[in-house]
Amino acid sequence: MGAPKRRVRRQRVVARTRPVEAEYEARAGAVGEPEAVEFESVSESATDSEPESGSATEPESESESATDSDSDSESATATEPVSESESVSDPEAAADPLERVALHGAGVVEHGERADRLQVTVLVRPDSGSTLAADVGRGLREVPKTLEPKHFYDDVGSTLFDMICDTPEYYVTRTEEALLEEIADEVIGETSPTALVELGSGAARKTRALLEAMQRHHGRATYVPVDISEQALESSAAALLEDYDWLDIHGVVADFTQHLHRVPGAERRLIAFLGGTLGNFDRQGARGFLQGIRDAMTEGDSLLVGMDQVKQPAILHAAYNDAAGVTAAFNRNLLQVINRELSADFDVDAFEHVALYRPELQRIEMLLEARSAQSVTIEALGRQFDFGAGERVRTEISSKFTRESAEALFAAAGLTLRRWYTPENGYFALALAGIDG
Ligand code: AVJ
């Protein structure tokens, strides 16, 4: 976009990001000392459709917005209490930033101002070298070697994942999307949520069906996306706010496996964990994760989980071995991430993409297989790792479920499966669970 570049919504974070989390503290170069964090930028492509922001001195810039339907939905962040006045010398107040943000948010809504409908709290900076280093160091010492799938998603990896979703073989995303459209009204009618909390919201593509159903039922909605990527969170939030003038968003930049208890409450929350990401956990991990959610739930909250179903191995195999090689590129990109972030020298082309279905475990495994013996130096770890010819590094598991296995899993986590929605072909399921009471 020419100069002057369009402003992106630049929402300062109300919460001081005290280094409450070790990984935050350790983020390379990010913080010398605790400070308020502000969005620095969004991608070029995102700026185009961004609502005009949002700075204290530019209250009406939205008139240049590309669409007119949102003209009353944009506003300045002038009301936003910011940083400078909030010194870290006030540990009490800093102790629970979310509460503070929630209060400010409520004020904004109540006064019906054309005030900012976006609040963002940063609990943890996007993945820094530190967790990646720790994870890689641990995983490559294991026998067999493993790497964690959460590190796939740098900008390139996220783009590749979006491309996977558009391959003809990968039925997962489109099946879930269609299913959500179909059941959204019923789910919302049944759970009557005052807020939709989405764990791992990413681009929030599928969320719209649920939000629109909330609007049909209640006239408006509050959306609480929780994502590790500040950028994904901000650009998806901006797009949603532009399209929905009845929506309030309180985003939380956090690792949803660690910060669940800090996600803002509401009277009744529908907590959504979509996409089949639960499949990335092994059984024990899935149970622990669901238990964590269960512990953070209060009466009236519900949980909606996307779960890929067990099906013909050939269909599963194709979905993770698409003909265009997008999944292979996605898998290999993990090595690029490590090369870049940890100053490593993986020869990416020396590793082959392998994805296979293991029926006895009801899961897909993705692996990277060394085509020949490799020795790789990872500078950030100060050591070298050897790979034998044909040695495989497991990069991801993608568990598949049946209604029975899902029910047992929920039960083990203290949750009750209430509904099991599947399309006719049975490819994918959305499980609605609650706590007993
Ligand atoms: C995002 C974890 C649901 O397991 O199907 C897609 C990731 N990996 N193709 C999945 C993935 C390879 C995806 N999840």
Q: Is the CB of 172 under 6 A from ligand 1?
A: yes
Question: What is residue 436's predicted lDDT score, i.e. its pLDDT?
Answer: 82
Given a cut of 50, is residue 93 above it in pLDDT?
Answer: no
Q: Is the CB of 173 under 6 A from ligand 1?
A: no
Question: What is residue 226's predicted lDDT score, i.e. its pLDDT?
Answer: 92
Question: What is residue 282's predicted lDDT score, i.e. its pLDDT?
Answer: 96
State which fold the 12-310+402-435 domain adopts: Rossmann fold (3.40.50)
Question: What is residue 219's predicted lDDT score, i.e. its pLDDT?
Answer: 96
| pLDDT tens readout for residues 326-355 | 999 999 999 999 999 999 999 999 999 999
Cβ-based neighbours of 97, under 8 Å, separated by 6 or more: 14, 15, 16, 17, 18, 121, 123
Question: What is residue 84's predicted lDDT score, i.e. its pLDDT?
Answer: 30
Neighbours of 91 (CB within 10 A): 9
Q: How many Å is the maximal CA-CA distance in the chain?
A: 66
Given a cut of 50, is residue 109 above it in pLDDT?
Answer: no
Q: Is the CB of 333 under 6 A from ligand 1?
A: no
As a residue count, the chain comes to: 437
| pLDDT tens readout for residues 212-261 | 999 999 999 999 999 888 888 888 999 999 999 999 999 998 888 777 77
Given a cut of 80, is residue 10 above it in pLDDT?
Answer: no
**Nearest-CA residue for atom 5 of ligand 1:** 398
For the entire predicted model, the pTM comes to 0.76
Region 121-125: what's the mean pLDDT? 79
Residue 434 or residue 115, greater confidence: 434
Given a cut of 50, is residue 11 above it in pLDDT?
Answer: no
**Could you give the C-alpha distances from 77 to 60, 214, 303, 325, in angstroms and in order?**
11, 26, 32, 44
Distance from the alpha carbon of residue 34 to the mean position of ligand 1, in angstroms: 35
Q: Is the CB of 164 under 6 A from ligand 1?
A: yes
Beta bridge partners of 146: 394
> What sign does the dihedral 45-12-32-133 (CA atoms) show?
negative
Question: What is residue 126's predicted lDDT score, i.e. its pLDDT?
Answer: 52
**Nearest-CA residue for atom 10 of ligand 1:** 398
CA gap 98, 264 in Å, rounded: 7
Residue 194 or residue 80, greater confidence: 194
Region 375-400: what's the mean pLDDT? 98
Atom of ligand 1 nearest to the CA of 330: 12
Question: What is residue 125's predicted lDDT score, i.e. its pLDDT?
Answer: 58
Beta bridge partners of 197: 224, 271
Distance from the alpha carbon of residue 277 to the mean position of ligand 1, in angstroms: 7
Q: Are 201 and 225 in contact (CB under 8 A)?
A: yes
Given a cut of 50, is residue 311 above it in pLDDT?
Answer: yes
Distance from the alpha carbon of residue 398 to the mean position of ligand 1, in angstroms: 6
